[in-house]
Amino acid sequence: MTPNREDYLKLILELGGDQKKINNKQIVSGLDVSAASVSEMISKLLKEGLVEHSPYQGVQLTETGLASASTLIRKHRLWEVFLVEHLHYSWNEVHDDAEVLEHVTSETLASRLEAYLDHPRYCPHGGMIPEQGELIHEGEKNTMSSYPVGTKIRIARVLDERELLDYLVSIQLNIHEEYEIVDAAAYEGPITIKNDTKEIAVSYKAASTIFVDKL
């Protein structure tokens, strides 16, 4: 399915675009689309006043863009919690169905769903769920790939992207787990992490979209 404007807004926010510039390369990687497609969509978002653009630096959400993205993500993440907790989806299965459900969810339904779920604060991927009318600010976190060998980390949040989540399931890496970075191969090779029960080689591309807390 071709990503739409809402997908772009949500990804820019997930990458931290409420507080810093996000470059086109990050968006290309996150949505698995061509550079030309990203440039075309960014032009549309600029015209709609949803993003600001700085040459050679990237885009950042405007207040209008942040409000729109926050509303979308609120509905999307509430449905993800419902699907995981009540319909027993795994965290890599929920994205596509939550994507459909968010677009047919009124504010009334979102509020009732939130109350039914007892006001969850985080989705299965570690992302914040804002209250109605609240803007999302995930807080500054670095990615796994930004830390050197020897750093102890906790998996805090991952991008809500199906290919990435399928990959994380395949290597058995889960949210909230703690590891030490024990090796980082040259030329953007895999990053190896280890704890008392397992050792995992994480691709550099994935490590660049896994947000961690330094312990």
Q: What is the pTM of this model?
A: 0.86
Query: Taking the mean position of all CA atoms in its chain, how far away is CA 172?
Result: 18
Query: Taking the mean position of all CA atoms in its chain, how far away is CA 215?
Result: 21
- 3-state DSSP percent of the chain in helix, strand and coil, to 5: 40, 20, 40
Residue 118 tokens, joined: 């007892």
Annotate 162-195 with b (16+ C-beta within 10 A) or e (fewer). eebbebbeeeebebeeebebeebeeeeebbbbee
**For the segment 139-163, what is each residue's pLDDT rounded down to a tens digit?**
778 899 999 999 999 999 998 888 8
The pLDDT of residue 1 is above 70? no
CB 56 within 8 A of CB 98: no
**For the segment 82-96, what is each residue's pLDDT rounded down to a tens digit?**
999 999 999 999 988
The pLDDT of residue 22 is above 70? yes
The pLDDT of residue 35 is above 80? yes
